[in-house]
Structure 1
Amino acid sequence: MIVPPPPELVPAEKLGHVHFVGIGGAGLSGIARIMLARGMTVSGSDAKDSLTLTALRALGATCYVGHDADHLGTADTVVVSTAIKETNPEVVEARRRGLLLYSRAAALSAVMDGRRVAAVSGAHGKTTTSSMLAVALQHCGADPSFAIGGNFNDTGTNAHDGTGDIFVVEADESDRAFLQYSPEVAVVTNVDPDHLDMYASPEDYHQAFDIFVDCIVPGGFLVACVDDPGARRLAESARARGVDVRTYGESDDADVRIDNVVVRPLGSTFELVVHGRRQGTIDVHVAGRHHTWNAAAAYTAAIGLGFPSAELREGLSNYAGTRRRFEYKGAAAGVRVYDDYGHHPTEMLVNLRAARGAAGDGRVIVCFRPLRHTRTQFFYRELGEALGLADEVIVMDPTGDDPIPGVTGALILPHIPLPPERIVYERSWSAAPVRVAERVRPGDLVLTLGAPDVALIGPEVLELIGDRLESESEPDAAR
C-alpha cells in the first residue's frame, strides 16, 4: 500500500498516539523505537510474533499479533508499511475515523525533523554503509540518531534516538521513500535498477536518483561511488547542476581513493588517499572486498560533516557488522554456516565471492530463497547466473509478496551454470535444511541467502549436522 505524503508534515511529538500497521518490519520497528525513546504512546500490529515485537513491548509499546480494527484503540496517527494492503482492517478503520495516515517515509521524516540528515541510498550496500557511518560518528564522540534496515551485531538494535544533531538514515528507494527526505548529506553507493514492479523502467529508476539529489538542502553535498557506472553518471549530472559532489572509489579520479587493498577470508585492509594525500589505513572486519567501498563511503560522508580522519578510520576499523550481512551463524563437524540478505543478482555475486574467499579450500553450499515473486519474474536469468559461483545450490520458492502464476524457484534452475546433480529445487520448507545437511562435508561453507525467513534454516542445518556426527561416532554395538 502506497500512502501519499501529507500536505504538511507534523513533527513526531505532535502525532499523539501512533499505531503502526506492520510494526515488526525493519523500517517501522526502528521508527517505533525512536518514538518510544521520546516518550510517545506507541502501539502496533504484525502478522506474527517475533523477537522484534518482544523488544518493543519491553520498551513500552503495545503490540498485537494479527490485524483487527479494535487494535487502533485511541490512536491519533496510523503509520502503514508498504507491504500492507488497502483492505487491511486497521487501515479501513483508520480511514473511517479520519485518522492521520502516514507512510514509513513520512513517519521517518517526522522523527528526523530539526536534525542534520545523512541519508544513505543505492541499490546495494545501504544498510552496511549507514551502519558504518553511525559507528564512525559514535567513535568520534558524537551521539547520532539513526534508523537502519538491519540490527547491529553488537547491540542488536536498528535505531537509536541520539542526543546529537545528526540523524543517519538508510534511505530506501524501493517505494520511492527516499524522495521524501531533505538530507544535508546524500550518499549513493550505486545505481543498479531494481524494484521494477515500482519503477516503469531502468530509466525511471535512474531518474529517481536524480530527484533524490535535488532533495539535498542548500549547503549540503552528494557522496557517490565513481566505480559504479550509474553513480558516476549521477555525480557528473549533479556537478553539472551545481551540486557539491564528493566521490570515492578505486578509480584514479576519486576524491577519496581506495588504494593498496588486501583481502582476507573474513575482512580486508586498505589505504585512503584524499585528494592525493595518504590518510592511513582502515581494517574492515567483515568479509568481502565490497565493504571497502562501503567504508570509504561512510568515511567520505563523515569527513564532509567535519569529523577528524584518524578517529573515523579507527571507528570504522571497530565496526562489527549488522545482522544478515554475511552473518556468522555457527559451525558443526567442520562446516561453517553464514547468512546474508542478498537478494538482487549484483548483491548475490559479491556475497558469493566473499563466501568463496572465506571457504578457502572448502566448497560453498548455498540455500537461496528469492525475495519477491516480482523480482524473480524480472531477474530469474541473472539470479541463476549469480548462483553459478557456488558449488552446490538449493533453490526454494519466492516469498515476500503475492504469488504470480508460473513464477517459482523453478524458473531460476535452467540458468544456473552448474551440473544438474549439483542443483536442487526444494519447495518444502521443512525439507530444505535436510537437503542442505545431506550435501555438506567437513570444510564446506554454507550460505543461506535471500528472503528473511531463510535465515532460520542455518541453525537447523547445524543441528542436523551435529546429530549426524554424533550418530556416526557411536560404536557399532550401541547402534
Structure 2
Amino acid sequence: MKLIKNLKIHLIGIGGIGISGIARYLKAQGAIISGSDIAENKLIQDLKDQGIQIAIPHNPDAITNQDLIIHSAIIQEDNIEILKAKEKNIPIFSRKDALQLILGQKKVVSVCGAHGKSTTSAILCSIFNHYGAIIGAISKEFNSNVRDTKSEGIIFEADESDRSFLNSNPYYAIVTNAEPEHMQSYNYDLNLFYQSYENFLNSAKISCINSDDPFLSTLPQEKYLTFSPKNDIKDIEFFLHDDEPYCRFNLKDLGTFEVWGFGEHTASNAAQAILIALQEMDIETIRKNLKNYRGIKKRFDIIQKNNPCIIDDYAHHPTEIIATLKAAKIYADLKSYKKITAIWQPHKFSRLKDNLEAFQESFELCDTLIILPTWCAGEEEIFFDMPQLFAKYHPIIATHIKKQEQNLLVYHHEKLIKTLDYDLVVGLGAGDITYQLRGEK
C-alpha cells in the first residue's frame, strides 16, 4: 500500500514521542490522521491543536472507516481498538512494520547507535535544512522532533531497541557505535545483534561508521565511509558564547568546524553528520548550516543558568553518564562553579542489573551523588542495596525532588534532606526526573 494523499490512518498510542512524530509527518504528507492514548499530555494537546481527533482513553468507537491502523510497541493484541479494527478487517501495522510504508518512497538519512543518535540526527537536521525529519528528541532549532516538509529527503532516527532500524530504508546510514543494549530484542544473542547492525549498514547506498568502535572496526573498512574520533578529530577546544556551550575542532583535512555542545562525543557526532553531508553539498554550506544547531531538549539541556545552574540530561547508560559528567566538568570550570551535584534516577531494573559494575564507576566526576528510586518502565522490581553498592560516593538516597522558585529541594518521603541553591546540578535519567527538575511534577 502506497502512502497517498487522503489515506485515513489511525495511530494507537499517539501520545509517545515516536508515534506522535509519525502522526505529524504523515499529516504533512496529506494523510488524514486520528489517534488515541490512555491519557492527555503535551504532545497530544499539540496534535489536537493541529486539528487531529484523538480519543482519550482508548475507545473502540474511534475505529470507523480508517484505511490503516498503526500502533506503538507497547500496545497489545487485546487492545480494544485493535480488536475492533480486526472485526472491520482494517490492516494493522506496528510502528516497526509501518516504517516501510512511511519511508519507502523517501531518500532517508538513517541514524542508529546505542549512544549519540538523537544528537547526530538533530545536527543532520541543521545541515540538511531542506529535508524533513522524524527524530527521537526535540530540536531546539525548530522546537520539535518533526520537521514536516514534503521534501523527498528525510532525517530519521532509527531504533535498534526493537530492530525496527532494519525497516528504515536507508539511502545514507550512520552508526555512531554498536555497544550492546536492548539485548532482549535479540534473544540475548550477540551474533544476532551484530549481524543486525551489519545488515542495516549493507542495506544503504552509503554508510558511515565509527571505526573506533570494537565491533565496527572488525567490518571491511573499504565498504564504508570510516571515521576515527581518535585520529580524525584534532585541536578540540571548548568555549562559551552567551553562556551556551560550544566546541571547535578540526576534522581530517576539511578545516575547522564549530558546533553547540561540549565533549569529545559532541565533536564525534558532528563529524559523522559532516561526512555524510559531504555527499550532498559543499563544505562551506555544511560549515555554515552546522552553526544553526542549538542542541536538543533533555541532552545537556541547560534549563537554569544560575543559582543553581541546572542541566537536564537523558543519560541512562554508564557510557552516557560519563560523557555527560565530563561535559559538565568542562562547563563548571569555564563558569567557575566549585562543585557538581549529580541527581541520578536509574532507568529500568534490567539495565541496572546488566551494567551494575559500569554504573558503579560512572560518577567519579561529581562531588555529590543523589540517587532517586529506579524508574521501572513497566518492569518487575529488583532489589538493589544502593547505599552499599555506591558507598564509595557516600550517596544521598532520596525519593524525589521539587523545584521551588530557583532552588531544588531534595526529599526522602516527606522529610527535606537537602537544598540545592548554588553551583552546578546535573539530572541524569530517562524517567520522570526531567519533570521533577522543571517543577512540572
One fold, TM greater than 0.5? yes
Q: Which has the larger share of helix? A: 1
CA distance in 2, matches of 1:431, 1:163: 41
Q: Which residue matches 2:202?
A: 214
Deviation of 1:357 after TM superposition, in Å, equals 1.7
Q: Kindly tell me: are residues 411 and 16 of structure 1, through their superposed partners in 2, closer, same or farther at Cα, counting changes over 3 Å?
A: farther
- 1:2-33 Cα offsets, whole Å, 9 max, x none, are xxxxxxxx222278321111111121111100
1:212 offset after TM fit, Å?
A: 1.0
1:363-413 deviation per Cα after TM superposition (whole angstroms, max 9, x unaligned): 222222222333223223322321343222222233363232425xx4554
User: CA 1:300–1:270 in structure 2 vs 1: closer, same or farther (change >3 Å)?
Assistant: same
Taking the aligned partners of 1:151 and 1:60, their CA distance within structure 2 comes to 21
**Helix, strand or coil at the partner of 1:329:** strand
> Does residue 1:346 correspond to 2:346, yes or no?
no
d(CA) in 1 for partners of 2:409 and 2:77? 39
Distance in 2 (alpha carbons) for counterparts of 1:400 and 1:322: 25
Tell me, yes or no, if the aligned pair for 1:22 and 1:84 is still in contact at 8 Å.
yes
Match of 2:303 in 1: 329
**Separation in 1, partners of 2:75, 2:349:** 16
Higher deviation after alignment, 77-86 or 441-450: 441-450
**How far apart in 2 are the matches of 1:314 and 1:154?**
14
Q: Write the distance in 2 (CA, Å) between the matches of 1:117 and 1:411.
A: 46
1:7-86 correspondence runs (5 A): 10-13=1-4, 16-86=7-77
Paired residue secondary structure (2:30)? coil
1:101–1:398: structure 2 CA closer, same or farther, 3 Å change rule? farther
Partner of 2:330: 357
Letter of the 2:207 counterpart? L
**1:459, CA displacement in angstroms?**
2.2
Q: Which moved more, 1:61-70 or 1:125-134?
A: 61-70
Equivalent residues of 1:148, 1:159 under 8 A apart: yes
3-state DSSP of counterpart to 2:139:
coil
Q: Which residue does 1:460 correspond to in 2? A: 439
Residue among 399, 410, 424 paired with 1:435: 410
2:247 is aligned to 268
Instruction: Give the counterpart letter for 2:275 in structure 1.
Output: T
Cα separation, partners in 2 of 1:435 and 1:285, compared to 1, 3 Å: same
Match of 2:220 among 202, 220, 237: 237
Paired AA for residue 134 in structure 1: C
Q: Once structures 1 and 2 are overlaid, which stretch shifts more, 36-45 or 393-402?
A: 393-402
2:361 to 374, 385, 394: 385
Q: Number of matched residues?
A: 426
Matched to 2:197, the amino acid is F
* In the alignment, structure 1 residue 151 sits paired with structure 2 residue 168: no
Quote the residue 1:307 is aligned against: 281
Question: C-alpha distance in 2, partners of 1:192/1:203?
Answer: 13
2:107 pairs with 1:116: yes
Note closer, same or farther for the CA distance 1:46–1:371 as it changes in structure 2 (3 Å cut).
Answer: farther
Aligned equivalent of 1:426: 398
Q: 1:319 to 1:161 in 2, by over 3 A?
A: same
Higher mean C-alpha displacement, 120-129 vs 432-441: 432-441
- Deviation, 1:120, is 0.6
Distance in 2 (alpha carbons) for counterparts of 1:85 and 1:413 = 37
Distance 1:442 1:289, change over 3 A: farther
Of residues 126-135 and 368-377 in structure 1, the stretch that sits farther from structure 2 once superposed is: 368-377
Q: Give the C-alpha shift of residue 104 in structure 1.
A: 1.5
Distance in 2 (CA, whole Å) between partners of 1:184 and 1:73 is: 36
- Which string of whole-angstrom CA distances, capped at 9 and with x for unpartnered residues, describes residues 186-208 of structure 1? 10000101112222133432222
Structure 1 residues 232 and 85: CA distance shift in structure 2, 3 A: same
2:226 is the alignment partner of 1:247: yes
The offset of 1:452, in angstroms, is 3.9
Q: Any stretches of 5+ residues in structure 1 without a counterpart?
A: 1-9, 464-479
| Residue 291 of structure 1, aligned match among 266, 269, 285 | 266
Identity between Structure 1 and Structure 2 (%):
27
Q: Name the amino acid aligned to 1:158.
A: N
Is the alpha carbon distance of 1:413 and 1:189 closer, same or farther for their aligned partners in structure 2, counting shifts above 3 Å?
farther
Calculate the TM-score normalised by the size of structure 1.
0.82
CA offsets, 1:403-436, max 9 Å, x none?
A: 32425xx45543436343xx13334577995317
Q: How does 1:94-133 map to 2 (within 5 A)?
A: 94-133=85-124
Q: CA deviation at 1:316?
A: 1.2
The CA deviation at 1:297 is 0.6
Counterparts of 2:366 and 2:138 in 1: how far apart (Å)?
Answer: 27
- Which SS does the other structure have where 1:435 is aligned? strand
Say whether the 8 Å CA contact 1:30–1:159 is kept in structure 2.
yes
Q: Matched residue of 1:190: which SS?
A: coil
Task: Give the deviation of 1:263 after TM superposition.
Answer: 2.8
1:36 is paired with a residue whose SS is: helix
8 Å contact from structure 1 (residues 181, 215) kept in 2: no
Structure 1 pair 263–289 and aligned structure 2 pair: CA distance change class (3 A): farther
SS of structure 1 residue aligned to 2:316: coil
Letter in 2 for 1:456: Y
C-alpha spacing 1:424/1:94, structure 2 compared with 1 (3 Å): farther
CA 1:426–1:93: 2 relative to 1, 3 Å: farther
Can you give the 5+ residue segments of structure 2 that lack an aligned partner in the other structure?
none
